[in-house]
Chains A and B, each alone.
Chain A
């Protein structure tokens, strides 16, 4: 019988169901996980927290058999275990529910639940009637009533996720890892998910819950493990951990050690401008991503966007630059409305964006420095479809010198440059378009300290020349010192705007955590790491 009754009493055993002991994982010399100890008890809901690059995704992949640990070991019920493939982990009772539902969209709900283990009858043929009945019964125990013969893709995402969950649990899962399970769900669907989580826990099934939504974490989970830079920085009960403190642990900034300034290459003076805004964005909205975000930027001003990963920072930039189609909202530049959802229209209006993932969305590695710089500007350097090499060289020369791009020649392939210089090439590409507004998404991620300082100085310089800049960075100090104003986002909405003296790490931390005043400064002495949080790997949660 595959259907488990939710009324089964919880397992009383307290021996860990899944453990990672001293797990390390390195990629090409970069340490993604460094001696991680992670323990999951039966029936508990355990939050796994950490910012971009903290190692959450890597840890999940190790726990589910996608990656093999370089050092350390996994243990199931106290016994050492090795998962060579995701299937091994599944068979051992460790299932994962991904953000993107990993089922077959064209097949029916019942087929998806029973794929590979369909009930069979006469001549070993699949007994469809029994399969449908079993599927209905299984989903029924979670209070979900759908036509199990319908193709999965015709159902709401929340229901699809329940189907994935039902499949996982019916294959005897003991631990269910949920990676951002609510990121595309409606409110009612989230409630259903939480109810099902409660039922699973009552059966003694442990939940590892990964989410950036603070409210959910505090509602669903009792324990938390916080990762930062590949290490465990905190393990404990959530009830004893105020939000501000949780956020400060994730970001590596202790609450009262944030008064200090000057760790970045940004200039001291902030230019409060009274000029009319060059760009005004109003009511930018897209389902599940951002909701009514408004923003205005004046020439010569650097506006920071604050917030945790998943708060809607990158989405806001993508909405303004036309990369992401918006459901609602408008972007007005110099009194003219920019056609939304069109990158060419945004570029023509003078809005350009440096994407977060430089490698995947920015540089074209096989092309030379010259070609990468003139790529976007080609249409304006060309006459009748041809562009003269001399024109190109003039432009390239100006920017290579101005941005101090270190390359052996304009013909060197961009892939051979350092991260910092690649970033400068990207900036040069957009400056060649003579933009009015520059949107920077994590401009210093993954580049070395020296290059970082140069890029930061360059941002300052460009602002002084009158460019309007929006800066997104997961490093608090970069936002605080680089920006003249900070707009703080949480769960896709603007929660506050910090100006003048408010632009410091303390205010920002409070705004991000979102539970009012920073009441727990006393508790902050616990982890006072002042080291600038370097992000070792570029990974996506």
Chain B
């Protein structure tokens, strides 16, 4: 019996080695760059590598991390969710309003509303066959409008007095704040979900080839719906936690947050075209953005506009590298 060896195909052994190298760069590129930036920053600024500063970076990044976890699932299916910034703001405002009925309500109300928004957007994408970009762009505008409507045009900022809720936002375990803990727990749950469950494999498959997934009998529409629900949940939870952290539901927060989340996900190595993604990469992407901001703040003489330029430059480089690498793999 003759066996077909992989080398019988277009992939020769040198190609295989190159392919592996490309795979490593794609999967671990963001963590490697993060490590380099951290090391350089640690030597350049004495105030950088201190417990206070590092936990501060973690806390500042935790809200974006939670949003980016949901966003990773959406992007892996080949979709996009532009509404997360508005849902984040709505989550915060609702949490602050609902905190008068206790901290449980302050968490449950935003989550329910976030899920409903996800169901509506997901249904339009999955069964309506509409482009995710347009559906969630409409979501971005509409939800921001709702936020302004329930806060008198943004002039009202509901405050949080509930001590338990404030504790969730501001307290912590040892020197790590609860939002960081929650973010990391969600990350682990997300990793297991994406790589070890049938649902997660379905998410990857739908992003890889919707047509083939349909022919293989996967529930394509249900998969699509579920990722938008997940993204609605994570965005509103992050908003509620952010409100707990600041003791108030500020209506104007989260503007442009969707772009930061997308950047973090893509920098982390998730393909914008779907079918391949890594939540570890997303964590690295989120931290990379956080560290860059922190370093620029350390320099002091630089303004926040420089931060945008650096982040944008990073994103561009990552996308270029990704494109080049995936072309290499296809050869």
Cα-based distance from A90 to B329 in the complex (angstroms): 32
B1:A115 contact, CB within 8 angstroms: no
B217:A87 contact, CB within 8 angstroms: yes
Cα-based distance from A108 to B275 in the complex (angstroms): 12
B218:A155 contact, CB within 8 angstroms: no
A133 interface residue per 8 A CB criterion: no
| Interface residue from A102, A104, A153 paired with B330 (Cβ < 8 Å) | A153
| Interface residue from A91, A125, A128, A144 paired with B4 (Cβ < 8 Å) | A144
A158 interface residue per 8 A CB criterion: yes
Known: A106-B276, A126-B198. A155 touches B11 (CB 8 A): yes
Cα-based distance from A86 to B218 in the complex (angstroms): 11
- The interface residues of chain A lying within 8 Å CB-to-CB of B192 are 125
B202 interface residue per 8 A CB criterion: yes
Binary flags per residue of A145-169, CB closer than 8 Å to B gives 1, else 0: 1110010011111110010000100
Interface centre among B4, B8, B198, B209, by most A CB within 10 Å?
A: B4
B215:A104 contact, CB within 8 angstroms: no
- The interface residues of chain A lying within 8 Å CB-to-CB of B197 are 124-126
- The interface residues of chain A lying within 8 Å CB-to-CB of B187 are none
A102:B198 contact, CB within 8 angstroms: no
- The interface residues of chain B lying within 8 Å CB-to-CB of A91 are 217
A538 interface residue per 8 A CB criterion: no
Known: A106-B275, A154-B329. A126 touches B218 (CB 8 A): no
| Interface residue from A106, A111, A143, A146 paired with B1 (Cβ < 8 Å) | A143
Cα-based distance from A144 to B5 in the complex (angstroms): 7
Residues A114-143 near B (CB distance < 8 A): 115-116, 118, 120, 124-126, 128, 143
- The interface residues of chain A lying within 8 Å CB-to-CB of B204 are 104, 106-107
- The interface residues of chain B lying within 8 Å CB-to-CB of A153 are 329-330
Cα-based distance from A375 to B196 in the complex (angstroms): 54
A188 interface residue per 8 A CB criterion: yes
The 6 closest A-B pairs by CB, nearest first: A156-B9, A104-B208, A87-B217, A125-B196, A106-B275, A143-B1
Chain A to chain B contacts (Cβ below 8 Å), 25 pairs: A102-B209, A102-B211, A102-B215, A104-B205, A106-B208, A106-B275, A107-B275, A111-B201, A115-B216, A126-B197, A126-B201, A143-B1, A145-B3, A145-B4, A146-B5, A153-B330, A155-B6, A156-B6, A157-B9, A158-B9, A159-B6, A162-B4, A188-B2, A189-B8, A192-B2
A103 interface residue per 8 A CB criterion: yes
- The interface residues of chain A lying within 8 Å CB-to-CB of B201 are 107, 111, 115-116, 118, 126
B44 interface residue per 8 A CB criterion: no
Binary flags per residue of B69-105, CB closer than 8 Å to A gives 1, else 0: 0000000000000000000000000000000000000
B19 interface residue per 8 A CB criterion: yes
Q: Look across to chain A and name the residue whose beta carbon is closest to the beta carbon of B273.
A: A106
- The interface residues of chain B lying within 8 Å CB-to-CB of A186 are 8
A105 interface residue per 8 A CB criterion: yes
- The interface residues of chain B lying within 8 Å CB-to-CB of A157 are 9
B4:A158 contact, CB within 8 angstroms: yes
CB distance from B276 to the nearest CB of A (A): 5
Cα-based distance from A103 to B204 in the complex (angstroms): 12
Which A residues form the contact surface with B (CB < 8 A)?
Answer: 86-87, 90-91, 102-107, 111, 115-116, 118, 120, 124-126, 128, 143-147, 150, 153-159, 162, 167, 186, 188-189, 191-192
B213 interface residue per 8 A CB criterion: yes
- The interface residues of chain A lying within 8 Å CB-to-CB of B275 are 104-107
Q: Look across to chain B and name the residue whose beta carbon is closest to the beta carbon of A192.
A: B4
B212 interface residue per 8 A CB criterion: yes
Cα-based distance from A158 to B1 in the complex (angstroms): 17
- The interface residues of chain B lying within 8 Å CB-to-CB of A106 are 204, 208, 275-276
A104:B209 contact, CB within 8 angstroms: yes
Which B residues form the contact surface with A (CB < 8 A)?
Answer: 1-6, 8-11, 16, 19, 192, 195-198, 201-202, 204-205, 208-209, 211-218, 275-276, 329-330
- The interface residues of chain A lying within 8 Å CB-to-CB of B330 are 153
Known: A116-B218, A144-B3, A192-B2. A104 touches B213 (CB 8 A): yes
CB distance from B78 to the nearest CB of A (A): 11
Known: A107-B208, A154-B19. A159 touches B4 (CB 8 A): yes
Cα-based distance from A104 to B218 in the complex (angstroms): 12
Cα-based distance from A188 to B9 in the complex (angstroms): 10
Cα-based distance from A153 to B11 in the complex (angstroms): 10
Q: Look across to chain A and name the residue whose beta carbon is closest to the beta carbon of B16.
A: A154
Known: A106-B275, A159-B9. A126 touches B4 (CB 8 A): no
| Interface residue from B2, B208, B217 paired with A105 (Cβ < 8 Å) | B208
Cα-based distance from A156 to B214 in the complex (angstroms): 24
- The interface residues of chain B lying within 8 Å CB-to-CB of A159 are 4, 6, 8-9
CB distance from B189 to the nearest CB of A (A): 12
B198:A118 contact, CB within 8 angstroms: yes
- The interface residues of chain B lying within 8 Å CB-to-CB of A107 are 201, 204-205, 208, 275
Known: A116-B216, A126-B197. A105 touches B4 (CB 8 A): no
- The interface residues of chain B lying within 8 Å CB-to-CB of A87 are 215, 217
Interface centre among A103, A128, A162, by most B CB within 10 Å?
A: A103
- The interface residues of chain B lying within 8 Å CB-to-CB of A105 are 208-209, 275
CB distance from B323 to the nearest CB of A (A): 15
Interface centre among A124, A125, A154, A167, by most B CB within 10 Å?
A: A154
CB distance from B48 to the nearest CB of A (A): 38
- The interface residues of chain A lying within 8 Å CB-to-CB of B3 are 143-145
CB distance from B142 to the nearest CB of A (A): 33
CB distance from A145 to the nearest CB of B (A): 5
- 5 additional A-B pairs beyond A102-B216, A155-B11, A156-B4, beta carbons within 8 Å, are A107-B205, A126-B195, A128-B196, A143-B4, A156-B11
Known: A116-B198, A154-B329, A192-B2. A86 touches B276 (CB 8 A): no
- The interface residues of chain A lying within 8 Å CB-to-CB of B202 are 115-116
Q: Look across to chain B and name the residue whose beta carbon is closest to the beta carbon of A103.
A: B212
Cα-based distance from A479 to B127 in the complex (angstroms): 49
- The interface residues of chain B lying within 8 Å CB-to-CB of A189 are 4, 8
Q: Look across to chain B and name the residue whose beta carbon is closest to the beta carbon of A125.
A: B196
CB distance from A90 to the nearest CB of B (A): 6
- The interface residues of chain A lying within 8 Å CB-to-CB of B214 are 86
CB distance from A429 to the nearest CB of B (A): 33
CB distance from A269 to the nearest CB of B (A): 51
A156:B8 contact, CB within 8 angstroms: yes
- The interface residues of chain A lying within 8 Å CB-to-CB of B2 are 143, 188, 191-192
B212:A102 contact, CB within 8 angstroms: yes
CB distance from B104 to the nearest CB of A (A): 27
CB distance from A393 to the nearest CB of B (A): 40
Cα-based distance from A176 to B217 in the complex (angstroms): 17
CB distance from A123 to the nearest CB of B (A): 9
- The interface residues of chain B lying within 8 Å CB-to-CB of A115 are 201-202, 205, 213, 216, 218
- The interface residues of chain B lying within 8 Å CB-to-CB of A188 are 2, 4, 8
Interface centre among A91, A111, A115, by most B CB within 10 Å?
A: A115
- The interface residues of chain A lying within 8 Å CB-to-CB of B11 are 154-156
Cα-based distance from A162 to B275 in the complex (angstroms): 22
